[in-house]
Chains A and B, each alone.
Chain A
Amino acid sequence: QQQVRQSPQSLTVWEGETAILNCSYEDSTFDYFPWYWQFPRESPALLIAIRPVSNKKEDGRFTIFFNKREKKLSLHITDSQPGDSATYFCAASEDTGGLSGKLTFGEGTQVTVIS
């Protein structure tokens, strides 16, 4: 059972455009949603995260929009730069009351920014 889904699988945008990455989940007990990004031959690293008490989280050019009712979230990358080219993973966990810290990942979206 795939509990976290991402779309599109890959995305190409021009430098300066906004890239929109989508994520949806099934488990209502998820209450923490981090996005990780991974550059080739590097570790996945935390980019930005949100909890359902908020419907928006912004950090520089990266913004998460969260819709709890529809169990959907999206990551917007504004003014995309070539250095943003990476694979982006949406993840989810039961942060409050979770004992194991287990993250459930989506399949990832490969973003390519063309200059």
Chain B
Amino acid sequence: GPKVLQIPSHQIIDMGQMVTLNCDPVSNHLYFYWYKQILGQQMEFLVNFYNGKVMEKSKLFKDQFSVERPDGSYFTLKIQPTALEDSAVYFCASSLRTTNTEVFFGKGTRLTVV
């Protein structure tokens, strides 16, 4: 079936540094999402991106976070600067529509901030 690919699967970074998480969504999908999952907790919505713009973001999407998809390439989540509490698994997802449609998820990128 359709696949969402996330690169890398695991990244370790020093606190205060910048990190970019990359996502290759399903090719014909139009809506892109990032979710955050802290160990032992549920996945929580961060942001939705469509047509080059953020559609909705949660309170977890701090000012240090940004998303973009330049020229239809990777959909990225950038955190600058990183903080210890940013350590989590970040899941990218994509869908064709926002209603009556399946959302496809990647395997996640485990980010460890030290």
Contact = CB atoms under 8 A, between A and B. Distances in A.
Interface of A: 2, 4, 32, 34, 36, 41-46, 89, 95-108
Contact of B48 (A2, A89, A100): A100
Interface string B39-78: 0011111001000000110100000000000000000000
Given A89-B42, A101-B33, A96 B99 contact: yes
B90 to A, nearest CB: 13
B42 A107 contact: yes
Contacts of B105: 36, 43-45
A82 B46 CA distance: 34
Nearest to A3: B42
Interface of B: 3-4, 31, 33, 35, 41-45, 48, 55-56, 58, 91, 95, 97-108
B99 A101 contact: yes
A103 to B, nearest CB: 6
A104 B45 contact: yes
Q: Is the interface of A mostly helix, strand, loop or mixed?
A: loop
